[in-house]
Amino acid sequence: AQTVTQSQPEMSVQEAETVTLSCTYDTSESDYCLFWYKQPPSRQMILVIRQEAYKQQNATENRFSVNFQKAAKSFSLKISDSQLGDAAMYFCAYRSRSGGSNYKLTFGKGTLLTVNP
Amino acid sequence: NAGVMQNPRHLVRRRGQEARLRCSPMKGHSHVYWYRQLPEEGLKFMVYLQKENIIDESGMPKERFSAEFPKEGPSILRIQQVVRGDSAAYFCASSLQGYNEQFFGPGTRLTVL
């Protein structure tokens, strides 16, 4: 079974600075997707960024980018120019793209990000 | 173009009562997923349904929990004889196909007194 580990329960960053959230995962599959979700105090789950494992290029969405290291099974999220609205719980998630469970998302326990003004 | 809708947003039940959580998928989506988020935890998969069919219920407790997605109307997650350990946030997601991106609803927070 796949597992997702987020080793940082909490992180903080100064407004306008850069922060990196860590995520590692364990899988024996070669074809999968990785995601970062943001959960603000409203609890709504918002997709921040996704990475297909077959793509070598790291995904980027405006101020959000990932460092995907497939061999190391590492998938970190970098937030540049942090804003107060970035404060939230961030979840890393895995989904297989093959086999019979290619719909099931497996989440880490989350990292609570605080942004200091 | 409404997103995934869940109601109620907050539900309070006493031990032994029944809880019914509703989820209306995005327009055009016929695949629905339920996840549970316990305090201090990430979301955990419970069940995957298509219209009138349960595809995968491997994450759902064997007793007291059931889910349906009828031909007409919302998907329902039903918890009978609730216990304090059922207190959690329950999220519904929907997708166009089973392998497409899942869009999440705002969740229902269940509190069992």
Q: What is the pLDDT of residues A45-82, one digit of tens each?
A: 999 999 999 998 999 999 999 999 999 999 999 999 99
**Residue B34 pLDDT greater than 70, yes or no:** yes
> B34: closest CA among B24, B55, B49?
B49
pLDDT digits (tens, 9 = 90+) for B38-75: 988 889 999 999 988 999 999 999 999 999 999 999 99
Segment holding A112, helix H or strand E: strand A111-116
Main-chain phi, psi angles of A101, to 5 degrees? -120, 40
**Residue B28 pLDDT greater than 70, yes or no:** yes
Instruction: Please say whether the beta carbons of A100 and B40 come within 8 A.
Output: no
Stretch A13-37: mean pLDDT, rounded?
95
Q: What tokens does B16 get?
A: 């032994």
Chain B residue with CA closest to A110: the answer is: B42
- Number of cross-chain residue pairs from A and B with Cβ atoms under 8 Å apart: 52
Beta bridge partners of B19: B79
> A11: closest CA among A93, A96, A87?
A87
Amino acid, res. B35: Y
Is B102 touching A (CB cutoff 8 A)?
yes
Give the pLDDT confidence score for residue B1 in this predicted structure: 53
